Structure 1
Amino acid sequence: MNTVIITSLAIALTSVANASVIAVNFSGRSDNGNPGATPDQLLTQSGASAGIAAGVNGTTTFTDVIASYNGVGGAGPQTILGTDGSSLDLTYTSVGTWSKSASSSRVAAAENASGDLTDGHIEGNNPTGISVTLDNINYTGTYDLYVYLGDDAGGRSASISLGGDTRSYTSQIFDGTFVDASAGGGIAGDYMLFSGLTGTSQTFQLGGVDNANRSGLLGFELVGTVPEPSSTAMLGLTGLGFILRRRR
């Protein structure tokens, strides 16, 4: 009986520690001007990123969105499925895409650490060349949005806006370690975190200060906030301790 009680409570406590994740990787699939795969397809872990933990949360399941090359690209709405039954509808626009080759400034450590996530991006210039809308988000509580930033050159000045929150940053070439640029103020980094979001819809835009400083969007993650253990589970754990102590 003790084993059953302990197991049940362990499951109850463990269940609140697992956050739902919806993750998207924008894959230009083009290199030095050569067109890539058919535009605007959805491929779940189709490339080298399959099974490789990517991003700051170690997520291993990204949905690859193959974007159009050269000129105005975009697609949507497309339903993106996450873990634990989570989902959203994705719509985006951009001025183009790019994909880095093995001969570019991306180092081998970056490939090993992130799979496809840092290998390609959609891009935009001043002021809002990239717009991403997430609709029908089915999280019931708060959630965090991680936006992964990058391009094929680094050192470019750009900004990202979500609602009334606008932050500037400087792009950098991913070297195997993700650097947080959430503080804004033009600091260099690979991702921005918008935490404690609510609601069924979010829209964010990225843009460079000019065409030479165009921005690049690698992908994003929506992560459901892990709730505190329920009062029922905590009371059960307290009661279990009392029962076991009395049986000694």
Structure 2
Amino acid sequence: MNSKLLTRLILPTLIQGTSIAASVSYSVETNIGPSGTLFSDAGNRDNWTGSDIGNWRAQSQSGLIYLRNHNGGDDIITRTNDSNFSFTIGPAVTSFSILIDARIDTFWEAGINASGGGPQLLIGGDFNDSNNFFINFNGTRYNSDAGLANVGTNGGNIATLRLDYDVINGTADLVYDPSGANQVLVNDAALNITATQIQNMDQLYARAGNQFAGAGNWTITTVPEPSSAALLGLGGLGLLLRRRK
């Protein structure tokens, strides 16, 4: 294709400020191992640390490998960014989402937090046997009242939930079964997370009330401000044009 024509086709889209989302995913099955993998061996933990860490393990339920607190206690573990897996929520992000697949039989929470001790941003369910899902930001839970926290979206008490955070407006939604029912459980919760708090979040977080609930997959998706996306696109366009000369 002629380089001038290519510019006419691509440049208007970039100038209009189309944002380009970026996603990273962490899978317990991929990063930890198959069902039964115990954390009692430090080599099996993939950088997870925390309460009663030696008794955690990977467990299979209805096709999902999830983090299970095999000792049955209410414990928290976290995983700091490293070369094997990392995520970043940068200063130019206008929105981001955290999608989590989890076994939801009893109380659990999972999401992200800061290694420096800052607040956590979590999805969870069945706190105090409420049978409801919730968003937890810095210890405050924003609850749904749908009574779905023991109902799996694909059988076997497995559910997918997505937290969508609007950085500009400081509000969050919680969506149940986003690829199916797509039911909004919490709408426009006013979290008002500061830019510093967002940027400091650099750990995955998992909490399980007992061995029958826990997260299996995290997918973190960020959307940059349109001007940043356009600049990235223009850089790519420049490289492409140089190759065609």
TM-score bracket for the superposition, by shorter chain length: 0.3 to 0.5
TM norm structure 1: 0.46
Bigger relative CO (Cα 8 Å, ≥ 6 apart): 2
- The structure richer in strand per residue is 2
TM norm structure 2: 0.47
